[in-house]
Structure 1
Amino acid sequence: MRLSHGAYYLTAYIDGKQKWIPLGTDYASACARYAQLENIDDRGMPERKFSELANRFEADCFPRYSANSQRSYRSWLKPLRRVFGPVPIADIRQSHAARYLDASKYKVSANRQVSLLSVMLGEAVRWGWIDVNPLQKMRKHQEEERRRYLTDDELQRLVDAADFQMSRLIRIAYLTSLRKSDIVAIRWEDLEDNALTVTQQKTKSPVAFSLNGELGRLFDELRESQSNGCPYVFVNKRHTQVSDRTVDTYWWKVRDLSGVEDVVFHDIRRKRLTDLTTTHGEAYAQIVAGHKDRKSTARYYTPDVIKVDLPEK
């Protein structure tokens, strides 16, 4: 409840937007109206529904994340809203989340959704809506770590199967190890002083790549092919910035034409960081990746064979 210009108001989140509901100028009457609207329980705390939590989380917390993360979170929120929407968040237990996990056919997606639910309940604790996060240390489905290493031959087959722009996008993805969302966001103005400078959306880490050699040649070829004045390097048929989803569509076609099996776009980043770790060391690969923690870079390292030196007898 807030006091503003002599009147009391209840602030609520409706459809993701903050609304101020007038409660009157008399304090006692405003408190009574507040308790009625907020459905105060025996502990003197409002009985918040999950739908309210979802609305406020989307309005207040989404702006912290990259556009790509926001899209993922929004897609994970949809099934959570359907299941938990009318449920008071104070009543959510680990057993409910466990049943949610077990009921899903898509184990990895369910893991991500429950992880998001836990983050949201953590925010609810910060806002004073509940006392503790019931999903802390929640055990989820076991996931197999992806260990797919793209060989040089497979990468070349993908490049050969792609059209002019997509083939260069794939090579730039390999040379820079940038994520897809960062690549499609590259502007011509990011190429200055013989360097490509990018602030990665996920980690917020800036990294600069020299344009000497193949990387510079690829951008020169792309510049020569464009005459539309679009500020973005990679464009669609309407000569505007190409989207992640459009790149996905092209990628699926390239993958099918190349005959390379069990490959996703992110495997290009895994290959590059593995190659850099092998040739230049883990510290160098970490700088290129923009990771703050070496453990994050180490998860990408996928050698074909790990050699173990056994002690002599």
Structure 2
Amino acid sequence: MKGKRRNGLPRYCSLVIDRHKKRRIRFRTKGVDTYLPFPPVGPEFEMAYAAALAGVTEWRENIGASRTRPGSFDALAVSYYRSPTFKGLRETTKRTYRRIIENFRVKHGARMMRDLRREHVKALIGDMSDRPQAANRLLSLLKIMLDHALDNGWITANPATGIKGFSKKTKGFHTWSDAEIAAFEERHLEGTRARLALNLLLYTAQRRSDVVLMGWQQINGRTISVKQEKTGAELDLFMLPALLTSIRELPRDKPTFLTTDFGKPFTAAGFGNWFRDRCNEAGLPHCSAHGLRKAAARRMAEGGMSGDIIKAVTGHTDLKQVSVYTAAANQTALAEMGAKAIAGKKSRTNIVQPNRKVGQRKGE
């Protein structure tokens, strides 16, 4: 298990003695404060620790009632967490995977993998028709984990292979219009924390997970350096005057530009919830932090910027991803630009009258 301290305990864990003089392992980090089984070794502890990392605490109803059985989904999860495949993932991806896996384990952890059939997987996914995106994410992860079970000889075939998820008809997060941006600015004036958040999101075109980490240490003249939390992409972004104005008077002893009411940096999820409340205050309940990233891409597309230029700002790796973000660009304006390009540039032609032939009279 990664992240051990010198005292031999995993990260975020400490040894405590309760009022009954019993040893217990306390897990405490942002948003999670719970107790894990003692001693801090073995499948039971690892299952509880993984659940705590994912922010899931329901595991306590099952831990202690029964041990992890070999061949069960619980055992598969523990084995997958130990695998090079999982350990090689980015930390943000690990957290997402753990959350999905641990929520699934609450209901199905004790079930044996050898009993899982194709019709069972279809039924599990079908029961999530009201949450198609969550269903598709679960299906993708089940395929990965069942491949892991197949490689380790737990099953003879992957029952999830070939099963299709729900059709992706959603447009994703709503792209802010210029009118919605103006409405937010009217409600949250320059100098407020909400306006600072808007400017950071819009004028850098970055994700909330990157915006909450921005601070003076990343500023170099007129640029701000960003290493994207999700992709690891490293960007140097030109700062527009509106953004420079927003940060000019901010204290330089804080680790980040945006802080909570307690003066601490936001978590990405905490910031997302806080910013949604600010959107609600501006009468924009359908708007979100991520929608401003899409609005920035839309504005660049409407300004005639190429896909490569947009990629250089957003950090996307291919034009297909960019097209998703620029889908809300004003079609009429872009079509007019295209039509003018088709017409080409008309050059002015000077008509020169030929000289009269020798001997030719005027008017002949």
Task: Sort the TM-score into its range (normalised by shorter chain).
Answer: 0.7 to 0.9
Contact 2:201 2:289 in 1 (8 A): no
- Residues 50 and 206 from structure 1, CA distance in 2 versus in 1: closer, same or farther, beyond 3 angstroms? same
Separation in 2, partners of 1:62, 1:159: 43
Which residue is 2:188 aligned to?
Answer: 162
Over alpha carbons, which structure has the higher Rg? 2
**TM-aligned CA deviation for residue 296 of structure 1:** 1.3
Indicate if the aligned counterparts of 2:207 and 2:290 stay in contact, CA closer than 8 A.
yes
Aligned: 1:239 with 2:267? no
The 8 Å contact of residues 197 and 207 in structure 1, kept in 2 or not, is answered as yes
Q: What is the identity percentage for the equivalent residue pairs of Structure 1 and Structure 2?
A: 19
Name the aligned partner's letter for residue 78 of structure 1: E
TM (norm. structure 1) is 0.74
Q: Rate the CA distance shift 1:195–1:304 in 2: closer, same or farther, 3 A.
A: closer
| Structure 2: stretches of 5+ with no match in the other structure | 1-40, 48-67, 340-364
Residue aligning to 2:238 = 210
Q: After TM superposition, give the deviation of residue 297 of structure 1 in Å.
A: 1.4
1:276–1:282: 8 Å Cα contact kept in structure 2?
no
RCO higher in structure (CA 8 A, sep ≥6): 1
Q: Which of 108, 114, 132 is matched with 1:107 structurally?
A: 132
Match of 1:15 in 2: 45
Unmatched tracts of structure 1, length 5 or more: 1-10, 18-37, 40-46
**What is the aligned partner in structure 2 of residue 255 from structure 1?**
279
Match of 2:175 in 1: 149
> How far is the alpha carbon of 1:129 from its aligned partner?
4.4
Closer/same/farther in 2, CA of residues 48 and 65 from structure 1, 3 Å limit: same
Question: Comparing both structures, which one devotes a greater share of its residues to helix?
Answer: 1
Structure 1 contact 125–131 (Cα < 8 Å) conserved: yes
CA distance in structure 1 between the partners assigned to 2:321 and 2:139 by the alignment: 22
**Compared with structure 1, are the counterparts of its residues 297 and 13 closer, same or farther at alpha carbon in structure 2 (3 Å cutoff)?**
farther
| Corresponding position of 2:38 | none
Which residue identity is paired with 2:321? S
Match of 2:28 in 1: none
Q: Could you tell me the TM-score, scaled by structure 2's length?
A: 0.65
Q: Is the 8 A contact 1:159 1:171 kept in 2?
A: no
Deviations 1:81-120 (A, max 9, x none): 1333122334433322210122234232222222222222
Q: Is 2:97 aligned against 1:73? A: yes
1:116 aligns with 2:141: yes
Q: 2:77 matched to 1:51?
A: no
Following TM superposition, by how much is the alpha carbon of 1:266 offset from its aligned partner in structure 2, in angstroms? 1.3
Aligned to 1:282: 307
Q: Which residue of 2 aligns with 1:23?
A: none
Query: Which residue type is aligned with residue 102 of structure 2?
Result: K
Q: What CA RMSD, in Å, does the superposition of the two structures yield over aligned residues?
A: 3.1
Q: Tell whether 2:204 aligns with 1:180.
A: no
Displacement of 1:131 after TM fit?
5.1
Report the Cα distance in structure 2 between the residues aligned to 1:251 and 1:116, rounded to whole angstroms: 30
Say if 1:191 and 1:137 are closer, same or farther in 2 by CA, change over 3 A.
farther
Residue 176 of structure 1 and its aligned partner are, at CA, apart by: 1.1
Whole-angstrom CA distance in 2 between matches of 1:59 and 1:220 = 46
Distance 2:82 2:217 in 1: 32
